[in-house]
Each structure stands twice: as structure tokens, then as C-alpha cells.
């Protein structure tokens, strides 16, 4: 028996990842690890639309509770995707909650891994939020992270824990720093970057939305599809190819909010733009404004991580396709 | 009433710092903060030779115990020097102890600061051990730390906690990365760099010692006197001059073990060299070999941190002078 665990497994990225893991297993997943016999989705709440697959199990509980985590991991635990997090605006507003879930939760998971007979392979989803001013024009693999949000600081501490637990051979860890993921389906969340999905998603769904930043705000983006591909690529990489102590800045692309809106207009017409109300929110700007928007990701590319060459129109096309939306 | 607290206050650096604080207070400490009314030395054990000064109080307990730390801090707490640590070889040999003291201890202290009515000023003594391979020829203020020891990882996590607690205005923190301090008086300790003092100290005291590394091993050193001066300079710096989010690599100088031994011979004659037995210890080499030996410390110098221009003969002269040793 081989289990793959996904923390934050009921979140949108966890769900997509689980579906893709099942799909690749059926297709005869060749690269790297053997396909899992079971996928365990760990989260605080059961999803509203459960995944009706006999290979999927749910473990509902608090990922920062050592006993729950120990009971959820087993000798069958072969791989872990650690996605669970209190996102940026929430961690800034509730410092203690962010520390508990983002720092203690990661440490608890690593401690549980350490107690298994074989060190499981673990992919830690970090974030571009580890970076902050002073920033160079273009962030490279050599840029030192200086987080300017509690979320970024907690993610960076998590990176260091994964690195040291990997060095001690308690776990086979690898760390990827995700760009802002857009277009996320579903509802807005407590990420400062939530608008990067909602200013597209809501108008495409015929709903009103608020854009809390200026049109010239630049973002470093990745589509959900490429985010999942990158997480799986990180999992598949042979241990000896990856220096787990050096987190990997994932490929993405730079786009301004104005360019995103222009792509929306190209796809959905001028009417869609009228559904966006522009109302700057200094709390959002104070976090998003510290994030870099331009990267050079040579190391990720040399390790074979896929790069999306389509530009933001591709993200919109993916969203419409995946959600089954047909624009009239 | 103003208290200054020193964690690890019964260690050699804590003791020297306390004495220098008392001396400067008597001399009419002008720069920066007002002189303290009281110095509180926090440590796990009472020193064998107590400091008989009415301004000095001892707080004996576990710096990672939240209740003890909360009880030790008070509304009078105006400044803190956080020196307490499980040192490098000990943290590598006992992972849990290092995590508890170096990570939990720092967090516990910061949480206690957060609960005070005024954020105290805090100097966190970090270390060159936050750096590790891959390293440039010369470490600069832009070099990204990639620790290759649990001690280094825990110190770096401490830096990030101090930075985020400072950003949140829970504390007025500043972080300095100390070079290896030599010549420490007293006995060898569990630091991998302990030999950098004992290969001088023991021969100067007429005792035998073992050198666990090769003569061409290069080190980045600071004398105890300059280490204390730098800690006090960090404390004195006005908050607005220091960007607490960017730790400061302290000035030091590069010297090889062979050059240190040559300086010993110049001072104490060839007989002293016979007291050194050369016996490489791979456990020491595996930690010390990952530390950088060459730095460019432009930022520290622009902030006015003192630089020792005397070379290693100065360290030997200081040691003989401070210990009252007269070589025949």
C-alpha cells in the first residue's frame, strides 16, 4: 500500500491535484514514484462536493494538532503535498492563527514524518510572498528573501524547516515557491491576491466584483493547470537532482491588472468590464505591493519545470473550459 | 526603573556584556538608551563566580519555559540581549534540544515581549553559521543564507521571527551575525568552533589540547572585546537607522588555523606549539567546513560597527591581558 497525503486537500488546488494524481495513475504514471493506492485528503472541513472515488479517503481535523497528524500518517505514507495554510491577509489580520497553522502545522507534519520507518517524499508549497523590499528589478535564484508579511515569514520558516529535516534525512523534502494562482474557481478567499482571480471570475460568471488595486499593479502569475503540473514535477524529481536546501522559484509570467482586464474584454466584451468596481484597499496594497512581479527562473527551467507561454488569455481559456462556461 | 535582560547571561559573553554595561553606566552612557537601573542575567544555572553588584539580579530557569520567561520580563524591561543558545555541535547531536532552546526559546521570549506595554529593544545574537554551501568566494550583505547545520537553521529562523515581530511592532529588534569568537576564556564548549579558542587558550595556560581541523582551515573571527562592542553598538543604534528585517553581518577578520598557531609561537614560543595534538575530527570538520571565512561587511561599517584592525596577535594580547597571564 502506498498513500499520498494532501494537506489542505479540500482546497481548490488540493482537489485539482488529487484529480490529476488519479488521472495519471490510471494513465500509467511512469516518471518517478509509483502511483498511489490511496489519496488521503487532510483538511479542517469535508468538501461540499466529495470526490466519489474509492481510492480517496478524507481525514478531517486540525493539521496543527500533533495527535491528529500522527494518526493520519501511517507506515503506508509514501508522499505528501503540504498545501494547507492560513493565507496572506488572514495571517496578517490574525497573527496567532497564522503562526499556529503555517509554522506549528508545518513543524508538526515534519515531526510526524520523522517518526515513520521510511522518510516520505514531501512537496512544500511555498510562495512568492517570501520576497519583499528591498527587491531587485528582477528576482533571480540568488535573491535573498526578505518577507514583509507574516504569511511570507511563516512560509520562509517552513522552507527552512523542510530543508533541515531533509538534511537530517527525516523526510525527502522539496520546496517550490508558487506565483499567484489565477484564475481560481469558487469564491474569494482571505489571500491578499484573491482579487487576481475574482476580477476575472466574477465578471465571467456575470457577477459584480471590486478591484482593490490600481490597473498598473504588476503580478507574477501561474494558471491552476501549470501550478498542479509544477507540484507533480517537484514530486517526481529524483532526490539527487534536487538540492532541497535551495527552494525553487517556479516559472510564471508577469502581467498587469490592466492587461488582465484587457484580456477579459477580448474574451467577454466590454460589458464584462462594467462589472468591476475600482476601489483601492490599502490593506491589500500593503501586502501585494511588497511582492515581486518579475522573476528569472533559470534553475526551475533547468530542472524541467514547465513554463506557460500562452499569456493571460490562456488562463481565461482554461477557466472557461474547466468550468464549462460558454460566453454568449 | 529600567531593566536590561541578558539571556545566556551566565555564559562568557553574557558576563562580559553585563560588566561592560555596568562600566558604561558608571561612565555616563550617553549614546542611545539610558543606562539601566538593573541588569537581569537569565540562565539555566547560577555562575560559580557571581557578580557582586547590587544592580545585578539572577533569574535561574529554562528560557524556553513560557511561564518562567513571562515572570522574568516585567513592565520595567527596557532592553534584552538574547544570547542563550544550544551551540552548533550540541544542536547537531541533539536535534530536539536545539529546536526547543534555539527555536522555541526565541519564540517564547518574543511572545513575552509582545505582551509588555512598551516593545522592548532586543538584540538577537545570530551567527555566521546561517551561511553554508553553495557559497561565493566572499560573503556579502546580499548573500542568501543556506544553513547546513541545525544550529544555523534555528538561528536563521530566529532572525525571521525577530524580523516579523519587529515589523508588527511587538518588539524593537535588531539582528547581528557574530563571527566565531576567539579567544574565549574558560573551558571548551559544545560549539564546533570551540577549538578556535582552545588551541590558543590551553597552550597559553600551559595545558595540552587537540586541534580537530587542518592548519589551512580558514575562519572568520572576532575577539570577545569587539563582540561585546558590536552587541552594544547594535543596541544603541536608533530604530530608524536600522532595517531590522535585514540582519547585519558583523565585521571580523579572516585567519587560518596555521596563522593562529604562528601568532601563538610569536607570543609564547615554540614550546607552546608542542601542547597541540593534531587529530582531525570529521564531525567538527563537517560543520565548520560549511561556514564562510571571508566576508565583505559594508553595511555593518556604514552603520558604524567597529572593525578590529589588529589581526590575531591582538586577540592573544587581549586574552593575556584580561586573564592576567604573564608569559615567562
Mutate to test the interface with A, among B133, B139, B157 (most CBs of A within 10 A): B157
Distance between CA atoms of B272 and B261, rounded to whole angstroms? 9
Fold held by B192-219+253-295+309-323: UDP-galactose 4-epimerase; domain 1 (3.90.25)
Q: Chain B: residue nearest A144 by CA? A: B144
CATH number given to A3-178+223-249? 3.40.50.720
In this structure, how many other beta carbons lie within 10 angstroms of the beta carbon of residue B52? 6
Q: Which of A142, A153, A246 sits opposite B163 (nearest CB)?
A: A153
Q: In what order do the strands lie in the sheet with A38-43?
A: A56-60, A38-43, A3-7, A77-82, A121-127, A172-178, A248-249
pLDDT of residue B32: 57
Q: Which of A132, A150, A160 sits opposite B157 (nearest CB)?
A: A160
- Environment class of A277 (CB within 10 Å of its CB; exposed 0-12, middle 13-18, buried 19+): exposed
This prediction has a pTM of 0.96
CB distance A160–B148 less than 8 Å? no
Summarised one tens digit per residue, pLDDT across range A188-203 is 988 889 999 999 999 9
Domains A3-178+223-249 and A192-219+253-294+309-323 share a fold: no
pLDDT of residue A32: 57
Residue A68 pLDDT level (bands cut at 50, 70, 90): very high
- Environment class of B286 (CB within 10 Å of its CB; exposed 0-12, middle 13-18, buried 19+): middle
pLDDT of residue A25: 85
DSSP code string of A183-201: S--SS--SSGGGHHHHHHH
Summarised one tens digit per residue, pLDDT across range A118-170 is 999 999 999 999 999 989 999 999 999 999 999 999 999 999 999 999 999 99
CB distance B148–A245 less than 8 Å? yes
Q: Which residue is associated with the grid cell 587581549?
A: B318
CB distance B246–A146 less than 8 Å? yes
Q: Which residue is associated with the grid cell 509582545?
A: B114
Distance between CA atoms of A220 and A218, rounded to whole angstroms? 7
Q: Which residues of chain B have pLDDT under 50?
A: none
CB distance B160–A163 less than 8 Å? no
Q: Which residue is associated with the grid cell 560543520?
A: B287
CB distance A156–B160 less than 8 Å? yes
pLDDT of residue A31: 56
Mutate to test the interface with A, among B129, B160, B167, B173 (most CBs of A within 10 A): B160
User: How many residue pairs from chains A and B have C-beta atoms closer than 8 A?
Assistant: 49
Distance between alpha carbon A27 and the CA centroid of its chain, in Å? 24
- Reply yes or no: is the peptide bond before residue B134 cis, omega within 30 of 0: yes
For B32, phi then psi, to 5°, come to 65, -130
Mean confidence (pLDDT) of chain A: 93
Q: Give the 3-state secondary structure of residue B220.
A: strand
CB distance A245–B156 less than 8 Å? no
Q: Which of A153, A160, A167 sits opposite B164 (nearest CB)?
A: A153
Which chain B residues are Cβ-neighbours of A132 within 8 angstroms?
245
CB distance B160–A157 less than 8 Å? yes
pLDDT of residue B47: 73
Distance between CA atoms of B286 and B224, rounded to whole angstroms? 25
pLDDT of residue B289: 86
Q: Chain B: residue nearest A95 by CA? A: B168
Q: Do residues B105 and B63 touch, judged by C-beta distance below 8 A?
A: yes
Q: Do residues A215 and A209 touch, judged by C-beta distance below 8 A?
A: no
Write out the catalytic residue numbers of A. Answer: 151
Distance between CA atoms of A218 and A228, rounded to whole angstroms? 23
Q: Which of A132, A160, A246 sits opposite B153 (nearest CB)?
A: A160
DSSP code string of B240-262: GG--TTSPEEPP-EEEEHHHHHH
Distance between CA atoms of B68 and B88, rounded to whole angstroms? 25
Q: Which of B148, B157, B163 sits opposite A167 (nearest CB)?
A: B148
Which chain A residues are Cβ-neighbours of B163 within 8 angstroms?
146-147, 153
All cell numbers assigned to A213: 488595486
Alpha helices for A51-210 (secondary structure H): 66-72, 88-93, 95-98, 105-114, 150-167, 195-204
Residue A36 pLDDT level (bands cut at 50, 70, 90): confident
pLDDT of residue A30: 62
CB distance A164–B145 less than 8 Å? no
Q: Do residues A227 and A178 touch, judged by C-beta distance below 8 A?
A: yes
Q: How far is CA B133 from CA A307, B130, B214, B291, in A?
A: 28, 10, 19, 8
CB distance B245–A168 less than 8 Å? no
Which chain A residues are Cβ-neighbours of B145 within 8 angstroms?
144
Distance from CA of B301 to the nearest CA of A (A): 19
Summarised one tens digit per residue, pLDDT across range A284-313 is 988 888 899 999 999 999 999 999 999 999
The domain limits of chain A are 3-178+223-249, 192-219+253-294+309-323
Mutate to test the interface with B, among A93, A161, A164 (most CBs of B within 10 A): A164
CB distance A157–B153 less than 8 Å? no
Q: Chain B: residue nearest A142 by CA? A: B144
Average pLDDT of span A240-264: 92
Of these residues, B81, B131, B151, B195, which one is catalytic? B151
Residue A244 pLDDT level (bands cut at 50, 70, 90): low
Of residues A305 and A26, more confidently modeled:
A305
Q: Which residues in A have their CB inside 8 Å of a CB on B?
A: 95, 132, 134, 142-148, 150, 153, 156-157, 160-161, 163-164, 167-168, 245-246
Distance between CA atoms of B14 and B2, rounded to whole angstroms? 18
All cell numbers assigned to A239: 532526490
Distance between CA atoms of B166 and B245, rounded to whole angstroms? 8
Say if strands B218-222 and B253-256 run parallel, antiparallel, or are unpaired. antiparallel
Which chain A residues are Cβ-neighbours of B95 within 8 angstroms?
168
Distance between CA atoms of B73 and B3, rounded to whole angstroms? 9
Please name the CATH architecture into which domain B3-179+223-249 falls.
3-Layer(aba) Sandwich (3.40)
Q: Do residues B185 and B240 touch, judged by C-beta distance below 8 A?
A: no
DSSP A103: I
Distance between CA atoms of B113 and B122, rounded to whole angstroms? 9
Which chain B residues are Cβ-neighbours of A156 within 8 angstroms?
160
In this structure, how many other beta carbons lie within 10 angstroms of the beta carbon of residue A187? 11
For A77, phi then psi, to 5°, come to -65, 115
CB distance B153–A161 less than 8 Å? yes
CB distance A245–B145 less than 8 Å? no
Superfamily of domain A192-219+253-294+309-323: UDP-galactose 4-epimerase, domain 1 (3.90.25.10)
Q: Which of B95, B156, B167 sits opposite A160 (nearest CB)?
A: B156
Nearest one of B319, B314, B173, B203 to B265, comparing CA atoms: B203
Q: Identify whether B151 is a catalytic site residue.
A: yes
Average pLDDT of span A49-77: 90
Distance from CA of B3 to the nearest CA of A (A): 28
Amino acid at each position: 500500500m502506498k498513500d499520498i497525503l494532501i494537506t489542505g486537500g479540500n482546497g481548490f488546488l488540493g482537489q485539482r491535484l488529487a484529480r490529476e494524481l488519479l488521472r495519471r495513475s490510471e494513465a500509467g504514471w511512469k516518471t518517478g514514484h509509483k502511483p498511489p493506492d490511496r489519496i488521503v485528503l487532510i483538511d479542517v472541513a469535508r468538501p461540499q462536493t466529495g470526490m466519489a472515488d474509492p481510492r480517496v479517503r478524507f481525514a478531517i481535523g486540525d493539521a496543527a494538532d500533533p495527535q491528529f497528524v500522527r494518526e493520519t500518517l501511517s507506515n503506508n505514507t509514501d508522499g505528501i503535498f503540504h498545501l494547507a495554510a492560513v493565507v496572506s491577509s488572514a495571517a496578517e489580520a490574525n497573527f496567532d492563527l497564522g503562526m499556529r497553522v503555517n509554522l506549528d502545522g508545518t513543524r508538526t507534519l515534519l515531526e510526524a514524518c520523522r517518526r515513520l520507518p521510511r522518510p516520505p517524499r514531501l512537496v512544500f508549497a511555498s510562495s512568492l510572498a517570501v520576497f519583499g523590499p528591498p527587491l531587485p528589478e528582477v528576482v533571480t535564484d540568488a535573491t535573498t528573501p526578505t518577507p514583509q508579511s507574516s504569511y511570507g515569514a511563516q512560509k520562509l520558516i517552513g522552507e527552512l524547516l523542510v530543508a533541515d529535516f531533509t538534511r537530517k534525512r527525516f523526510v525527502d523534502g522539496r520546496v517550490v515557491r508558487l506565483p499567484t494562482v489565477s484564475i481560481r474557481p469558487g469564491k474569494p478567499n482571505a489571500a491578499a491576491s484573491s482579487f487576481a482571480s475574482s476580477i476575472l471570475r466574477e465578471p465571467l460568471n456575470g457577477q459584480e466584483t471590486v478591484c482593490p488595486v490600481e490597473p498598473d499593479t504588476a503580478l507574477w502569475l501561474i494558471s491552476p493547470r501549470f501550478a498542479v503540473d509544477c507540484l507533480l514535477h517537484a514530486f517526481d524529481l529524483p532526490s539527487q537532482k534536487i538540492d532541497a536546501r535551495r527552494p525553487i522559484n517556479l516559472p510564471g509570467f508577469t502581467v498587469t491588472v490592466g492587461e488582465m482586464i484587457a484580456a477579459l474584454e477580448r474574451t467577454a466584451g466590454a460589458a464584462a468590464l462594467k462589472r468591476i468596481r475600482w476601489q483601492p484597499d490599502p490593506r491589500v496594497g500593503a501586502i501585494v505591493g511588497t511582492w515581486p512581479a518579475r522573476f528569472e527562473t533559470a534553475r526551475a527551467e533547468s530542472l524541467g519545470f514547465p513554463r506557460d507561454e500562452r499569456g493571460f488569455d490562456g488562463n481565461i481559456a482554461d477557466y472557461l473550459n474547466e468550468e464549462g462556461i460558454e460566453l454568449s
